[in-house]
Amino acid sequence: MLDTAALIVLAFATFLTGLSAGLFFAYACSVMLALRSMPDRVFIDAMQRINSAIVNPWFLSVYIGSAFFIVVAVALVAISGAVGPAVAAGVALLMYATTMVITGRVNIPLNVELEAADPEDNAAHLRSARAHFEPRWVRFNLVRTATACAAAAALCLALALA
């Protein structure tokens, strides 16, 4: 049985991780689908604006807070000796760390590269910039959506086993 502090931290980690997973899912099932049909100029301009807007305290608190609270939850659950919840929380940590690695190594660098594109460039340059960005960004967003959802599910399991 977990103590109250461990349960609260585990619940908060679950909540924040669910928010992160939901954001990535929203991109996968709506934002990128809507932008897919946009002309290159509009697509690039919209993604540049989104990438700029998302770097804000709300998003960063949830995204980084998820990692922080998962780490603390793993420590508290492990200290408690509750093996099932500890294993599930450990899996969540691995999955969320994978989400962050994908974001840092693939999605963010692609965002930075796209930022260099000028929406006023000629059509061929815009087409090339988008072709370099969109398929890889979308593919890896799907992967990080899956890993973030797996992290959230593992945390739910940890709570259920607690």
Read off the pLDDT of residues 83-106 as tens digits, 9 standing for 90 and up: 999 999 999 999 999 999 999 999
Question: What is the pLDDT at residue 78?
Answer: 95
Phi, psi of 114 (to 5 degrees): -65, -30
Question: What is the pLDDT at residue 2?
Answer: 86
* Residue 13 burial by Cβ neighbours in a 10 Å radius (0-12, 13-18, 19+): buried
Nearest CA-CA partner of 92 in 142, 12, 161, 158: 158
Q: Contact at 8 Å (CB) between 54 and 131? A: no
Element (H, E) at 83: helix 83-102
For residue 61, give every residue at least 6 positions away whose Cβ sits within 8 Å of its Cβ, in sequence order, or none: none
What is the C-alpha to C-alpha distance for residues 141 and 32, in angstroms, rounded to an integer?
10
Read off the pLDDT of residues 126-150 as tens digits, 9 standing for 90 and up: 999 999 999 999 999 999 999 999 9
Question: What is the pLDDT at residue 120?
Answer: 84
Q: What is the pTM of this model?
A: 0.94
Q: Contact at 8 Å (CB) between 89 and 154? A: yes
Read off the pLDDT of residues 13-70 as tens digits, 9 standing for 90 and up: 999 999 999 999 999 999 999 999 999 999 999 999 999 999 999 999 999 999 999 9
Nearest CA-CA partner of 83 in 139, 147, 157, 4: 157
**What three-state secondary structure class fits 56?**
coil
Question: What is the pLDDT at residue 1?
Answer: 76
What is the C-alpha to C-alpha distance for residues 95 and 86, in angstroms, rounded to an integer?
14
Q: How many helices (H) and strands (E) does the chain have?
A: 7, 0
